[in-house]
Structure 1
Amino acid sequence: MIGVAPPAYDPAAPTTATTLPVGATATVRAYVAELFQRHRRAFCVLIAVNTVAVIASMAGPYLLGGLVERVSDGARELHLGLTIGLFVVALAVQSVFVREVRLRGAVLGERMLADLREDFLVRSVGLPPGVLERAGTGDLLSRITTDIDRLANAMREAVPQLSIGVVWVVLLIGGLTVTAPPLAASVLLALPVLVVACRWYFRRAPAGYRSEAAGYASVAAALAESVDAGHTIEAHRLGERRIALSDRRVKEWTAWERYTLWLRSVLFPAINATHVTILGSVLMIGGTFVLKGWIDVGQLTTGALIAQMLVDPVNLILRWYDEVQVAQVSLARLVGVRDIEPDAGDAALAPAGREVHADEVRFGYLQGVDVLREVSLEVAPGTRLALVGPSGAGKSTLGRLLAGIYAPRDGRITLGGAELSRMTAERVRSHVALVNQEHHVFVGSLRDNLLLARTDAADAELWAALGAVDADGWARALEEGLDTEVGSGGLALTPAQAQQIALARLVLADPHTLVLDEATSLLDPRAARHLERSLARVLDGRTVVAIAHRLHTAHDADVIAVVENGRISELGSHDALVAADGAYAALWRSWHG
C-alpha cells in the first residue's frame, strides 16, 4: 500500500511491497560507473568540446571589459574593428562547438539509454523463473514503460547537460578568478542560500519521487489486473469494488504528485534569489573595490558579465539535477533486478536419468505460510501422472515445483538424481517444460517465433514441428510461409493457432518431461479437441505431469495424485482410487453428477 503524504508533507517514503526490488544506492552507483566506463571516450570528447565552447563564450565579456577600460582611461584609439572581428570569430567558434556539444551529448545519451534497455532486458530474462512468475504485471509493466520513458529524457539530455553545466560553472569561476580575483570571493556570498535550499529539497525529493513512482506502479497494477480479469469482475459483480480500489490508488498517487510539486515550488524561488544575490554582490562589492582603486572598471565590467553568465549553467545544473532525481528513482527500479541473485546453478550438473523424485518438499509464497507440506512423490520415466484436487489445494504449485519454476523451501526435487534447484535454468528447460493456458505470439516472423525454442533449427525442422501439431496446413497456406509477420501489427492468429505455435516450439525443444496445466482449457470445445489430438502426438513417449482441473484429463493417467491442503492424500490409478471410495472417488462422483 502506498502511503498518502499527510498535510504536513512528511517526506518519509511509504513502505511498499513489490515483487521486484528497488536497487540499493550502491547498486545504482556501481551501474552508473559501469555505464560511464563503457562510454568514457565519448564522455571525454564531450567535455573537451564543451570546454572550447565555454572558453569561446567568455571572449565577449573580456573584449567588452577591455573596451570599457580603454574608454575609462581616455584612450583615443579603441580599435573597434579588431574588437568586433575577434568577437565575431569567438561567436562563430562558440556556435560551432555548441552545436557539437548538443550533437555529441544527444548521441551519448541515446547510446547509454540503449545500453540500459538492453541490460534490463538481458538481466530480466536471466532471472530465476519463479521471480518472473511472481512478478506483478503492473510493477513489471511500469518498469519497462514508465520508468524507461522517464529515464529517456534524463539519458538523452540530463546527464550530458549536467556534465556541460558543471564544466561551464568551473570555467566561468576560473575566468572570474583570473580577471578579478577579489570578485571571485563575492560569488560565494550566494552559496549559503543555494546550499540550504538544495539540501532542504534534495533530502526530501528522492523519497517523494520514489513514492510517486511506486504510486503510479500501484495504479498501473490495479488497472492491468482489472482489465485482465474483466470477465471475472463482471461475473462476480466486483465492478464497484475495483473502481473504488482504482480511485484510492489514483488518489494516493496524486497526493505524492502534489507533494513533489510543492517541493519544487519552494526550491525555484530560492534559486532565483541566488541569482540576484550573485549579481548584486559582484556589483556592490566590485563597485566598492573600484572606488578604492583595488580593481579597475574594466575588471568590474568583465566580472559582472561573467557573474551574469553564471545564471545559465547554475539553472542548467539545478534543472537537470532535479530531473536526475526523478530519473534516479526509475534507474533504481530498473537496476533493482541486479540485486536479485541469478540462478547459481551448477552448469556441470546433469541428470543421470529421467525419473522425477520429490522428497519431503515444503513450499510457500509467503514467509512462514506453507502451500505444500511434506510432499513426497516419484514419477517413473514415461509415466503419465495426473495431479487432482480442489481449487487452492496446491496442485498447480506442485506442478511448477516439478517443472523447476520454483525451488522448494525444504526438501529436494530431483531429476535423474540431480537436484533441480542446483541446475541452471537452461539445463532444466532442456529436460523439463511447463505448458499452460497462456500462450504468446511475439512480434516478428513465424520463423522467428519458432526459432525461440532452438535457434539452430533448419526450415525443414520448423515445418516438421508444425506438422507434428497439425499446424502445417494453415502455415503453408500463408503467402509468405515462414516469413509471414505475426503478432501485433502482423497476421492475427487465433488462440488455437497461437497454442499450436507454442506446441511446435515444444517439439523443437524436445524435453523428455512435460508439466501440463490444462493447456487447452481456454479454447472453444472444437479447437480444444483438435489441439488435444495434436498434443497427444507431442506427449507420446514422454513423462507427463498433468495438472487436472477437469477430471476427464485424469481418467486415462497411469497414476493419479490427489492433493488436499498441501499434501498428497491419495495415490494410485483411476480404478483403484474409485474402488477405495476416498477423496478421489468423491470428486469423481461430484464431477459426474
Structure 2
Amino acid sequence: MCGLVPPLLIAAGIDRGVPAAGDGHWTPLIGFTAAALAAGLATATLKYCFLRYSGGIAQDLLFELRHRAFTHVMDQPLAFHESYPSGRVIARLSSDVESVEEMLEMGLDGLFSALFSMVGILAVMLWMDQPMAAAIIALFVPLYALTRWFRHRSRRSYRSTRTAVEGVVQHTVEVYNGIRAVQAFRREAANAARLRGLDARYAVARRDASWVSAAFSGGVKLLGNLSLAGLLTLGVFRIEQGALAIGTLTAFLLYVYRLYDPIDELASFADAFSAASAGLEKISALFMRHPAVAEPEHPVSLPAEPPGGRGAVRFEGVHFRYGEAGRPVLSGVDLALEPGRTVALVGTTGAGKSTIAKLVARLYDPTAGRVTLDGVDLSDLADTDLRGAVSVITQESFLFSGSVADNIALGRPDASRAEIRAAAEAVGAHGFISALPDGYDTDVHKRGTGLSAGQRQLIAMARVMLASPRVLILDEATSSMDTPSERAVHEALTRVLTDRTAVIIAHRLSTVAIADRVLVIEDGVVVEDGSPEQLLQAGGRFAGMQRGWLADTTA
C-alpha cells in the first residue's frame, strides 16, 4: 500500500509545495519529496520480504506436490505401470509440475500486489473525486468481458498444449528406452519424423495459446489508453469549470498508469493460471487412480516360526482375470506349496504360470478366493513385510545406476560390507566382482550394461541371499543365457534355494530338473502335479514337453 502514497504527495507538491517554493518557502516541497522517497524505500523493502517468503512457500508446495505424485505412482499396482506409459508419468512430474511452478513463482507476487493496488487506487480515486473515479470504474465492464473470454479460450488452448507436450515426452522416452530395437531396425529416420509431427502439433498449440494471451494483453493496453484519454478529456473540462485542481488531475493520471500496471500483472497471472490449471487437471487425473492392491488398514504380522516351517503358500479357490472385462486366467485354483520346496510351473504361453507367480508376490489380488503365506492372507500383510518375505528374480534382473554393493544391498540398505560380500560369495559372484575395476564400488551404470546376463543374475541372486526372503519367485531367470552362464547361475541357485520355498517359471528342461515338484498349467487349471520323475513315468503332458525339449536340444 506504500505505493499509493507518492501520487498523493506529487499532487500536494504541485498544488501546495510549488506555490510555497515560489514564495521562498521550500520546506513543504522538501517534506513532500522526502516522504515520497521514504514511501519508495518502504515499497522496495516490503516487496523484497514478500518475494523471499512467498518463494519459500511456493517451493515447499511444489516439493510436496512432486513428492506426493511420485509416491502415488509408486504405490500403483503392476497393472497400472503395464498400461500407463512411463513418458506420460514423466510429463506429469516434469512439464505439468513446472507449469504450476511458473504460476507460483511468477504469479503470486503479481496477483497479491495487483489486487491490493487496484482496491487501494480505486478507494483513493473515490476519495479524491467521485465523477472522475466513476469514469474509470465504468471501463471495468469491457475489461470483465475481455477477461471472461480470455479464461475460456486460454484454458482450452493450454489443455491442448499439455496434451501435445505429453506426446513429445512419451515418444522421446519410448524411443530412448528402445534404442537398441530402433537402431537394429534402422528406425531413426521414422522416429525423427514422428517426433517432428508431435513437435509441430505442440508448436501449433503453443502458438494458439500465445495468440490468446497476446490478444488479451493488447486488449488490456487498448482499454488503458482509452481510459487515459477519456480521463484527460474529462479532467480538462472539470478544471475549466473550476471543479478540479491541476495537481489532482496529475495524481489521477498517475493512478491510472498504476491501475493498469496491476491489470497487466493480473493478465500475466491469468495466463500462468490457465497453464497451471491445465497441468493440474492432468496431475489430478493421475491422483484419481487408486491402487487396486491397497495397504491393509490393520496389517497382520507373519508368524516368526510357523508350524511346519516358514514359506508355506496356499491358493484357496483362486479365480483371476485381468480387468473387469478380461477373460478368466485362473479358474478355482487350490494349491499348497510346502515350505522349503522348489516348485516348477510349466505350460504353454498364456496358460497362467506368470499369473500364479504374480499372485504369490501380490502384484495383483485374486478376483475371488485368497492366497496365504504361513497362514496369513497376503492382503492382510503390510507391504514392507510382504516385500521382505517374497522376492522375485526375472529374466532380465534390473540393476540401478550405482555401485555393485548398492545393488546387492537393495533389499537391505543397512547391510554391512561384510554381509554384502558374504552374500556374493555364497552365490559365486565374488570372483568376477573382485575383478571389476573398483570391485564392489564399481558403478554398474544404467541397467548394468557393462555386465553379462549371467553376471547380472548372480548379482540379483546375491541380492536375494542378503534379503533372505521366505519365498523366492524365478520368472524364466535363465532363459536368455548361454550354456556357461546358465551353468553358473544353476550352481548359485542350488545355494539360494536351500531351505527356501521357490516358484520357478520354466521353459527349459535344465531348470525343471532342479525342482522337487512340477505343476503343469493349462487354461488356468493345474492338470498335472507331481515330482519330475513321477510325471515322466505317467507319460502325460509333461513327458511330451520333455520330449520336445530334448528334440530342440539335439536338433
Q: Normalization by structure 2: what TM-score?
A: 0.83
C-alpha contact (below 8 Å) 2:17/2:32 kept by paired residues: no
Q: Give the alignment partner of residue 426 of structure 1, picking from 355, 372, 384.
A: 384
Contact 2:513 2:532 in 1 (8 A): yes
Q: Which residue of 2 aligns with 1:186?
A: 135
Choose between structure 1 and 2 for higher RCO, CA contacts under 8 A separated by at least 6 residues: 1
- Tell me, yes or no, if structure 1 residue 68 matches structure 2 residue 17: no
Residue 468 of structure 1 aligns with an amino acid whose one-letter code is A
Tell me, yes or no, if the aligned pair for 1:407 and 1:421 is still in contact at 8 Å.
yes
* Deviation at residue 475 of structure 1 after TM alignment: 5.1
Offset of 1:202 from its aligned partner?
A: 1.9
When structure 1 is superposed on structure 2, of 420-429 and 78-87 the one drifting more is 78-87
Aligned pair partner of 2:347 in 389, 399, 402: 389
| Structure 1 residue 198, shift from structure 2 partner | 2.3
Residues 357 and 308 of structure 1: CA distance in aligned 2, closer, same or farther (over 3 Å): same
Give the secondary structure class of the aligned counterpart of 1:199: helix
1:345 aligns with 2:296: yes
Please state how far the C-alpha of 1:429 moved relative to its aligned partner.
Answer: 1.1
CA contact under 8 A between 1:108 and 1:160: conserved in structure 2?
no
- Shift of the 486–333 alpha-carbon distance from structure 1 to 2, 3 Å rule, reads farther
* Deviation at residue 308 of structure 1 after TM alignment: 0.5
Is 2:121–2:255's contact at 8 Å kept on the other side of the alignment?
yes
The structure that has the greater radius of gyration is: 2
Structure 2's unaligned 5+ residue stretches are: none
**Partner SS state of residue 341, structure 1:** coil
Q: Does 1:406 align with 2:364?
A: yes
Q: Secondary structure at the match of 1:325?
A: helix
Q: Distance in 1 between matches of 2:457 and 2:234?
A: 79
- In structure 2, the residue matched to 1:141 is 90
- Aligned residue number for residue 91 of structure 1: 40
* Secondary structure class of the residue paired with 2:103: helix
Deviation at 1:540, TM superposition (A): 1.6
Say whether 1:312 aligns with 2:268.
Answer: no
Q: Which deviates more, 226-235 or 488-497?
A: 488-497
TM superposition shift of 1:306:
1.3
Distance in 2, Cα, partners of 1:290 & 1:356: 95
Matched, 1:201 2:147: no
What residue number does 1:327 align with?
276
By how many angstroms is 1:305 displaced? Answer: 0.6
Go from structure 1 to structure 2 and tell me whether the alpha carbon gap of 1:60 and 1:439 turns closer, same or farther (over 3 Å shift).
farther
CA–CA distance in structure 1, aligned partners of residues 523 and 189 of structure 2? 32
Partner of 2:5: 59
* Superposition map of 1:413-562 within 5 A: 413-443=371-401, 448-473=406-431, 487=445, 498-522=456-480, 525-562=483-520
Alpha-carbon distance between aligned partners in 1 of 2:372 and 2:45, rounded to the nearest angstrom: 67
Alignment counterpart, residue 62 of structure 2, candidates 104, 113, 125: 113
Deviations 1:158-209 (A, max 9, x none): 3344333333333333343444444433332232222222222322433442
Cα distance change, pair 314–235 in 1 and its aligned pair in 2 (3 A): same
Looking at structure 2, the residues matched to 298 and 228 of structure 1 have their Cα atoms a distance apart, in angstroms, of 69
* Alpha-carbon distance between aligned partners in 1 of 2:190 and 2:321, rounded to the nearest angstrom: 28
For the Cα contact (< 8 Å) 2:352–2:522, is it kept in 1? Answer: yes
Aligned to 1:269: 218
User: SS of the counterpart of 1:310?
Assistant: helix
The separation in 2 between residues aligned to 1:365 and 1:428, in whole angstroms, is: 22
1:363 aligns to what? 320
Identify the residue that residue 124 of structure 1 maps to in structure 2. Answer: 73
- Match of residue 220, structure 1, among 169, 182, 186: 169
Amino acid at match of 1:165: A
Structure-2 separation of matches of 1:496 and 1:186: 82
Shift of 1:326: 1.7
Deviation at residue 584 of structure 1 after TM alignment = 3.7
Q: State the Cα distance separating 1:543 from its structure 2 match.
A: 1.0
Query: Matched residues in 2 for 1:274 and 1:535: separation?
Result: 79
SS of residue matched to 1:58: helix
Provide, for residues 457-476 of structure 1, a one-character-per-residue CA deviation record: whole Å limited to 9, x for no partner. Answer: 34433333333333444556
- What percentage of aligned pairs have identical amino acids? 28
Q: Which amino acid aligns with 1:557?
A: A
CA gap of 1:491–1:237, structure 2 versus 1, over 3 A, is closer
Structure 1: how far apart are the matches of 2:537 and 2:192?
50
2:119 pairs with 1:173: no
Describe the superposition over 1:119-172 as per-residue Cα deviations: whole angstroms up to 9, x where unpaired. 333343344455345432221222233334434433433334433333333333
Task: Tell me, yes or no, if the aligned pair for 2:4 and 2:117 is still in contact at 8 Å.
Answer: no
What is residue 380 of structure 1 aligned with on the other side? 338
Shift of 1:566: 4.1
SS of equivalent to 2:139: helix
SS in 2 for 1:276: helix
Structure 1 residue 341 displacement after superposition: 3.4
- Find the aligned partners of 1:218 and 1:507 in 2 and give their Cα distance: 42
Alpha-carbon deviation of 1:497? 5.1
Q: 1:66: how far off?
A: 1.6
After TM superposition, the score normalised by the length of structure 1 is 0.78
Q: Give the number of aligned pairs.
A: 539
**Per-residue deviation at 1:572?**
3.4
Q: Is the 8 A contact 1:364 1:370 kept in 2?
A: yes
Q: Distance in 2 between matches of 1:210 and 1:315?
A: 23
- Contact preservation (8 Å) 1:189, 1:277: no
Give the 3-state SS of the residue equivalent to 2:316 in structure 1: strand
State the shift of 1:316 in Å. Answer: 1.7
Output the amino acid matched with 1:507.
Answer: M
